[in-house]
Amino acid sequence: MSVEVWTWILVGITFTIYFGIAIWARAGSTKEFYVAGGGVSPLANGMATAADWMSAASFISMAGIISFVGYDGSVYLMGWTGGYVLLALLLAPYLRKFGKFTVPDFIGDRYYSNTARTVAVICALIVSFTYVAGQMRGVGIVFSQFLQVEIVWGVVIGMIVVLVFAFIGGMKGITYTQVAQYCVIIFAFMVPAIFISWQMTGNPIPQLGMGGKVHDGTYLLDKLDTLHTQLGFKEYTSGSKSTWDVFAITMALMVGTTGLPHVIVRFFTVPKVKDARKSAGLALLFIAILYTTAPAVSVFARTNLIETVSNKEYSAMPQWFKNWENTGLIAWADKNGDGVIQYVSGSALEGKKPIFNGERGFFGEKLISNPNLKEANELYVDRDIMVLANPEIANLPNWVIALVAAGGVAAALSTAAGLLLVISTSISHDLIKKQIKPDISDKGELLAARISIFVAIVIAGLFGIYPPGFVAAVVALAFGLAAASFFPAIVLGIFDKRMNKEGAIAGMVVGISLMLFYMIVYKTGLVGVFDPLPKEDWWFGTSPEGFGTIAMLVNITVSVVISRITPAPPQEVQDMVENIRIPSGAGEASSH
């Protein structure tokens, strides 16, 4: 059977499972809608958390980044994995003991202020919509290629699927759907990796195959280094980022993890504080399966790509190359007119021209080739396709190619659902229930949550059609925003009794404003009016992806200083902070 038929079959089967689970686990109360009733087992919550965590950025884009930038891409592995350890040890148990539905709920009550709650809601919306832009683009990439549909229809299909299991089931439906999605994600990521590792090195374990020898007796990484230097690229295993920028990006990703509202809310879905710790540990184990495999996939994909396309006749290119050309994610400009693909270091394209009539179906953008560019390179490859195209490049069976498509969709949809639920609960619970209409009924609040999630999905769909940048870059910026806004407010709220509402509000406002300013000026170029400022102008040599670290430090400084020159929190708030840090059951034995 063809790839298209296999894709329809596998995606159809997985969607049927998702819909069935959503109907079975439909929410009947706000507690079930927000935190799955608080009765999810640690094992199920660990798998759901892993699926929530392993977004399109992890599945599609992380290995793609590493395959192009090599050693420098390790910051994503270190930052995201380290961040999860930090979250499990530093925050999860305390937040679970506090027992609120959302991060803005924690901040509003801890800082005894609806103003703080509103600022937290705004921050949650900014972080979540930035993050969801990457997920919807991931959905678009998969559907446009494998289901052979226009990008608009691909995004619409994804929107409908998320709407069904989020709208009906809320967190309860999403949680059990994500358990199924985790199984699909891991199976889809590991099967082609095992195939290709065996094919290239004779070792079926990808993590070992990456460091093994290929059939001619040379080590795979040595071979890739040689291919890179021959084509004018830096060695794959060498880094070019400054030590400071590596530290800044890693730190921003780590502390950003602990401030992501859609990940934190997962710890409210288990019955006990100790279950929060257990599910965090299990999630880390489940996540490690993919994260330790991603570097191997990137090495396999990069080697296969170079050997397949470099200095080869365009007319002899396999069908996968032509298919991806149709999406605009690979482009070739024959600058010297010899009919041979010249793939070396340098730019193959003049730029990207925004379009809005969908004539190419390429995410609102059209690639423009300019044969007169001085660089000799003739090939443009979008790094987001590397995982999806990898099985095709390696000539694996069609069912494996289709399986990867199903996994990519599952990764994007699982995280998108969690993010959209955060958006809806921020509006229905933290704005409407807590501030605008405190006497709203449980049924009315549930209706408001469902209306909010519908509106959020429509906005997310527009992000999928007109997204800002490739997936992992957008997601990295979302982590920077979370680091700059939520992390100090949460950590200081748990560990500093003296932290008050004035300090927390000032810190969040300053932190997220500074991060947004830096993103706009140095990443987007004032929303397309000007070109982004060059890296020579970066503050302290810090990339936009790493600037969340500086914004976080500014937030902490502002928060602590302001809190010390303004009145201390009420005594009952200070007592509450003390109680959060005492393990459940402590002292019970001595009371009998």
Neighbours of 170 (CB within 10 A): 32
Write out pLDDT tens, residues 251-281.
988 888 877 777 777 777 777 777 777 887 8
Percent of the chain with pLDDT over 90: 7
331: which strand partners?
A: 380
Q: Which residues of 430-468 are buried (b: 16+ CB within 10 A; e: fewer)?
A: bbbbbeeeeebeeeebbebbbebbeebbeebbebbbebb
What pLDDT is recorded for position 33?
60
Q: How confident is the model at residue 453 (pLDDT cuts 50, 70, 90)?
A: confident
SS3 466: coil
Q: How confident is the model at residue 38 (pLDDT cuts 50, 70, 90)?
A: low
What pLDDT is recorded for position 591?
38
**Mean pLDDT, to the nearest integer, of 359-364?**
35
- Mind listing the domains of the chain with CATH numbers? 3-301+395-581 (1.20.1730.10)
Give the lowest-confidence range in 27-36, 314-323, 563-572: 27-36
Write out pLDDT tens, residues 189-236.
898 899 899 988 888 999 888 888 888 788 888 888 888 888 888 888
More confidently predicted of 47 and 351: 47
Residue 528: is its pLDDT beyond 80?
no
Q: How confident is the model at residue 474 (pLDDT cuts 50, 70, 90)?
A: low
Residue 510: is its pLDDT beyond 80?
yes
What pLDDT is recorded for position 550?
93
Residue 367: is its pLDDT beyond 60?
no
Angle (nearest 5°) at CA 542 between 221 and 66: 20
What pLDDT is recorded for position 355?
33
Q: Are 368 and 122 in contact (CB under 8 A)?
A: no
Distance CA 80, CA 54 (A): 10
Two structure tokens written together for 268: 């409210």
Neighbours of 580 (CB within 10 A): 19
Q: How far is CA 335 from CA 328, 331, 341, 489, in A?
A: 18, 12, 9, 54
**Mean pLDDT, to the nearest integer, of 541-564?**
91
CA atoms within 13 A on the CB side of 313: 2
Helices 114-146 and 319-327: angle between axes, nearest 10 degrees: 140
**Mean pLDDT, to the nearest integer, of 553-566?**
94
**Mean pLDDT, to the nearest integer, of 440-458?**
79
**Mean pLDDT, to the nearest integer, of 490-517?**
91
Give the lowest-confidence range in 392-406, 456-470, 578-592: 578-592
Give the lowest-confidence range in 9-18, 352-361, 422-431: 352-361
More confidently predicted of 523 and 61: 61
What pLDDT is recorded for position 558?
95
Residue 450: is its pLDDT beyond 60?
yes
Residue 588: is its pLDDT beyond 50?
no
Write out pLDDT tens, residues 6-34.
888 887 888 788 777 777 766 555 555 65
Report residue 280: phi and psi, to 5°.
-65, -40
What pLDDT is recorded for position 362?
34
Q: For the residues of 188-235, what is the DSSP string, one character each?
A: HHHHHHHHHHHHHHS-S-HHHHTTSB-TTSSBHHHHHHHHHHHTTPPP
Distance CA 108, CA 429 (A): 12
Strands 379-381 and 330-332: antiparallel
What pLDDT is recorded for position 561?
95
User: Which segments of 517-591 are extended strands (E)?
Assistant: none
Q: Are 512 and 481 in contact (CB under 8 A)?
A: yes
Q: How confident is the model at residue 559 (pLDDT cuts 50, 70, 90)?
A: very high
What pLDDT is recorded for position 508?
93
Residues 6+ apart with CB under 8 A from 248: 542, 543, 546, 547, 549, 550
Q: Are 80 and 472 in contact (CB under 8 A)?
A: no
Residue 353: is its pLDDT beyond 60?
no
Residue 526: is its pLDDT beyond 50?
no
